[in-house]
Amino acid sequence: MQIWFRGGADYVVPRADVGVFTIGASSRNENVRVALERIADDVHRVLDGETMLVRDVNDALPQYDRGYAIRAATTTGRIHIRWDASNIWLIPVDKPSIDIEEARVELARRFVRWFGPVTAQRFAWWTGLDRRDVRPQWEALRPELEAVEAFCEERFMLGDRVEPGEIRGVRFIPHGDPFIKIDPELVDEAHRDEIFPNPKRKTDFWPVAGALLIDGAFAGSWARQQRKVTVNPWRALSNDEREQVEHEALSFPIAGRSAPQIRFHLESSS
């Protein structure tokens, strides 16, 4: 199923789990929930059991904010969408039968499984909820969590996902990867505009496709054009690190007749 999640992001979720991603992200504020149910009622009245373009629903309900209100009402679990990159349709559905607290805890569990090590504050940010909203489900999940030291602070992972040992190796993290989206402050401020490009503040290395991680730490950025990869390391690389970076870059499974190439930004511009 397709739904709106967290401020209107388009998500594709398993049909059996749609309740986890809708009512599981609902506010604990009773007034907010009542207001959103009222919006869902009005949307259902307009749809009358049919599928309709969202702009037509907006026209029929001018009292609501065209950008946010109906999107927020998807946390009732009663509104799905169909999106084809050009248009969005609204689909009326019945509320999922899952218990609301069960849905909230399961959503927290999946967040930790996907993005761990994390904190409750990050979970609140991801769902778009107030920290006080997520505290009960986070506490309910605590017996399954294990505290770990990560990025100079205490974070949490599911106990069955914790593996002892240091992170080793080179990884090219693509632009928009959840690891970066969840923790933008992990990138030092001097290099943040490379990983989160801002047209108003273009860096010397532009555009950027993602981040280079070496032994679990941010060590540079990279870009790709066809089978040519350009790497911009933020520090001097050892011979072993350079070999690993070259091997990883040349291993991209990109179809094409030309041979894969790698170059290093400072060397290519000098």
Same domain? For 137 and 61 the reply is: no
Same domain? For 174 and 264 the reply is: yes
**Domain end call among 161, 185, 213:** 161
pLDDT of residue 258: 80
Predicted TM-score (pTM) of the model is 0.76
Cα–Cα dist 43/73, whole Å: 9
pLDDT of residue 267: 65
Q: What is the pLDDT of residues 188-225, one digit of tens each?
A: 777 877 887 777 887 887 777 789 999 988 899 998 88
pLDDT of residue 270: 45
**Tally of domains within the chain:** 3
Q: What is the pLDDT of residues 100-112, one digit of tens each?
A: 999 999 999 999 9
Q: Which residue has the higher pLDDT, 136 or 188?
A: 136
CA pseudo-torsion sign 24, 25, 27, 28: positive
List alpha helices for the chain, DSSP H: 18-21, 30-47, 54-60, 69-72, 100-115, 120-127, 131-141, 178-182, 192-195, 239-249, 265-269
Average pLDDT, the chain: 88
Same domain? For 176 and 157 the reply is: no
Same domain? For 43 and 130 the reply is: no
Q: What is the pLDDT of residues 18-49, one digit of tens each?
A: 999 999 999 999 999 999 999 999 999 999 99
State the DSSP H helix or E strand holding residue 5, giving kind and residue range, or none if neither.
strand 2-5
Look up the domain containing 258 and give its range: 170-269
**Domain end call among 92, 119, 134:** 92
Token pair belonging to 129? 């909820």
pLDDT of residue 38: 96
Strands 261-264 and 228-233 turn out to be: parallel
Give Cβ neighbours of residue 140 (< 8 Å, ≥ 6 apart).
Answer: 101, 105, 108
Residue appearing with tokens 């969590």: 145
How many of the other CB atoms lie within 10 Å of CB of 222? 26
Same domain? For 66 and 152 the reply is: no
